[in-house]
Structure 1
Amino acid sequence: MKKSEYKVHIVGAGISGLIAAQVLEKSGYHPVIIESEDSCGGRVKTDQIGGYAIDHGFQVLLTSYPAAKQYLDFNRLALQEFLPGATIFEDGKQKIIGDPLRDLSLLWPTITANIGSFSDKRKILKLNQILKKTTIHEIFEEREQTTVSFLEDFGFSNKIIHQFFKPFFTGIFLEENLQTSSRMFKFVYKMFGDGNAAIPKLGIGEITNQLVSALDHTSFIYNTRVEKVAEGTILTTEGKEIESHFTIIATEPSFVIPNLKNQQITWKSCDTLYFETKDRVIHKPLIGLIPHKETLINNICYPTVLQPNTISGKELLSVTVVRSHNLSETELIAKVTAELAEHCSIQVDRFIKRYDISHALPDITNLQYEMLPSETRLTPTIFIAGDQQLNGSLNAAMISGERAAMGVIDALENGIVIEELTSDSI
């Protein structure tokens, strides 16, 4: 049987599924991706609304991600980079803190900012240097503890933890108390130190578009939800059975594998709201943080400080809310608008769009960086992928998709015997 004749299906057209398809194609297979929505990308999408590129939630690409460097063409993405720092809204003022070793313009603002102590700032530089010398694999072999306990053990003061680390990493980990594994903190911190946070010129969805454009022999079945995956078959919610020699589940497997129902993953959620304003109060390419316990807003960003502004005289503002709430959309917009005025002196002209992202990040422990292709195998013909298998990052999504595809290839090319794989079944 020719490689292209094997029926290899991928459930889910997110980043993991797209990478899996690319790896399979390069080995001569012609996979089929089944996607419940009408387009690819999962959480990595961009809408075009009123001339603005609006991402499904505020997201950045860390250019030092090893898998991203392997699978993405950064030049084609036309990445727009943030400065290595943040602006903090406190006491009616903006205070900038950043890495002056990477951008000298941040030296004086960081020295004069009343954010933490001088000792804290020395410790930040020390942590940067330690992590530069530490490999990713060493990080993921270290003992796990919470991020906040690691910061305290390292000697950071409560002041800088609450003013900088908590609001900054709350926006990344999507949880307020920094209970996320110290492995993830060190990994992300190292990635920030080794590269840049960036957004493609036309939005984060360009990552998805580039991965899709690289596929020449992959078929897509859209608007089709999978109910169950079993050996040799895929059942859709409409009752259609699809014959499949091998299946990669690039979504949460507990939804489609009956005996995994008790292993369902808990997901972290967030809200991202977009507004239009007449001008911007952050004039450098920096993320804005609001380190106040009582506010809903965690961080803000002007994508138009990076992207071309297509609306003359107007600015696009994204606002991320991590804290849980029971507000209606109208109440949420009113509360966020009031907080923007109070803490940031921002007057919004109009509300554009809200993204209520219930499955933003997997809430997992015992975080890993790598996995063997064999570790993605659930049954002889069913494999699993997705960032939830490793550490909840774009990098992890790519690695897990690659490993699952390698697992299928290894099974097909190294002697696995499946009786139903005959030419008569094609």
Structure 2
Amino acid sequence: MKKQDFKIHIIGAGVSGLIAATVLEQNGFFPVIIEATDRVGGRVKTDTVDRYQLDHGFQVLLTAYPAAQNYLDFEALDLQKFLPGAAIFKNGKQLAIGDPLRDFSLLFPTLLSGVGTLSDKIKILKLNSKLKTKTLSDIFSDKEQSTLSYLKQLGFSSEIIGDFFSPFFSGIFLENKLETSSRMFEFVYKMFGEGYAALPKSGIEEIPKQLANNLKNTTFKFNTKVTSVKDAEITLEDNTKLESHYSIVATDASSLISNLKNQSTEWKSCDTLYFETENRVIKKPLIGLVAEPGTLINNIFYHTSLETNIIPNKELLSVTVVENQNLKGEDLTERVKLELKEHCGIDSCKFIKQYSIPMALPRLDNLQYDMLPSETRLTTNIFLAGDTQLNGSLNAAMISGERAALSVVEIVSNTISSNR
């Protein structure tokens, strides 16, 4: 039996599934990707509405991600970079804080910002220096504690934690108590320090589109929902049964595999609302943070402060809400508008669209950076991929997809060799 004769199915056309297909193709296989929706991307998608590019939630690519550097063509993505810092809204004022060593324009705003003490700024420089020399394997083998206790242990003041670390990392971790593992904090902080946050000029969906366009021997089955996966058989929603020598599940597997029914992943949710505004209150491409307790708004960003593929009519503003306080629909929109006016001085904005994302990030313990290919193997013929296997990041999605595919490659290669 030749490599191309093996029936290898990947369930889910998100980033992890696309990487799995890439690795299988590189090793001479012809996989089939089964996807429930009408296109690739999973949680990484972009819509065009009223001449604006709307990502499904505020997402960025960190250019220092090792797996992203391996699998993506950054130049072809035409990445638009954020400045390394943030605009902080507090007590009716806007204060800028950033890394002046990487962008000189942030030197004086940072020195004069009044966010944190001089001691805090020295500690930030020390943290930068420490994480530059700390390897990713060391980060993920360190003892875990909450990010909040980690920051307190380093001696940061409650002011800098409340004004910067909490709003900034709450938007990344999608929880506002900084309970997320210190491993994830160190990893993300190191990635921010070694590269840039960026967006493709055509929106975040360009990442999975690029991966899909590079595939030459992969068959896609879109609008096709899988209801169960067994060792040699995949059942679709219409009760069609597909023979499968090997299956890689690159989506939430708990509802598909019988022995995982009681092991469903917990998910963090968020809401992202898009508005059209006449002007930008943040002139540079900086994330805006609202450092006021009890607010709905976690962060804001003007997507039109970066170049986009579509020439916009006015300014596009995204607002991320980590904890919606049980507000929905129009009630949530109106409350956000009030907060924009009160805290950010934005008093004229037209609502465009809201994305409620119930499965935005997995809630995980014992976070890992990498895994052995063999660790992705659930049963004789079923393998698991996706960021749920390691940590909630695009980098983890890529690594887990690669490892699952390599496990299949190894098993099939051994099978072929033993049959010769």
TM-score between both structures, scaled by the size of structure 1: 0.96
1:18-417 alignment runs, 5 A limit = 18-308=18-308, 310-312=311-313, 314-415=314-415
Distance 1:36 1:305, change over 3 A: same
> What does residue 424 of structure 1 align with?
none
Classify the secondary structure of the residue corresponding to 1:254: coil
Deviations 1:241-270 (A, max 9, x none): 111010000011111111111111100000
8 Å contact kept, 1:46–1:203: yes
8 Å contact kept, 1:16–1:250: yes
Classify the secondary structure of the residue corresponding to 2:69: helix
8 Å contact kept, 1:35–1:222: yes
8 Å contact kept, 1:88–1:290: yes
Q: Percent identity?
A: 60
Classify the secondary structure of the residue corresponding to 2:53: strand
Letter in 2 for 1:310: I
Alpha-carbon separation, structure 2, partners of 1:307 and 1:403: 35
Classify the secondary structure of the residue corresponding to 1:342: helix
8 Å contact kept, 1:299–1:320: yes
Deviations 1:288-319 (A, max 9, x none): 0001222100000001000246234x100000
Superposed displacement of residue 227, structure 1: 1.0
> What does residue 8 of structure 1 align with?
8
Classify the secondary structure of the residue corresponding to 2:269: strand
Alpha-carbon separation, structure 2, partners of 1:136 and 1:359: 26
Deviations 1:29-50 (A, max 9, x none): 1100011111110111111112
Alpha-carbon separation, structure 2, partners of 1:324 and 1:184: 24
Deviations 1:204-229 (A, max 9, x none): 01101100100011111111111110
Superposed displacement of residue 416, structure 1: 7.8
8 Å contact kept, 2:271–2:324: no
Letter in 2 for 1:389: Q
Q: Structure 1: give runs of 5+ residues left out of the alignment.
A: 422-426
8 Å contact kept, 2:324–2:332: no
Alpha-carbon separation, structure 1, partners of 2:133 and 2:99: 17
Deviations 1:129-154 (A, max 9, x none): 00001111110111100000000000
Deviations 1:165-196 (A, max 9, x none): 00000000000000000000000000000000
Alpha-carbon separation, structure 2, partners of 1:348 and 1:304: 17
Classify the secondary structure of the residue corresponding to 2:282: coil
Q: Structure 2: give runs of 5+ residues left out of the alignment.
A: none
Moved more, 248-257 or 394-403: 248-257
Superposed displacement of residue 324, structure 1: 3.6
TM-score between both structures, scaled by the size of structure 2: 0.98
Superposed displacement of residue 201, structure 1: 0.6
Q: Count matched residues.
A: 418
Deviations 1:2-37 (A, max 9, x none): 211111000000000000000001111110001111
8 Å contact kept, 1:275–1:348: no
8 Å contact kept, 1:88–1:288: yes
Classify the secondary structure of the residue corresponding to 1:274: strand
Superposed displacement of residue 350, structure 1: 1.3
Deviations 1:384-412 (A, max 9, x none): 00001001100000000000000000110
Alpha-carbon separation, structure 2, partners of 1:311 and 1:190: 34
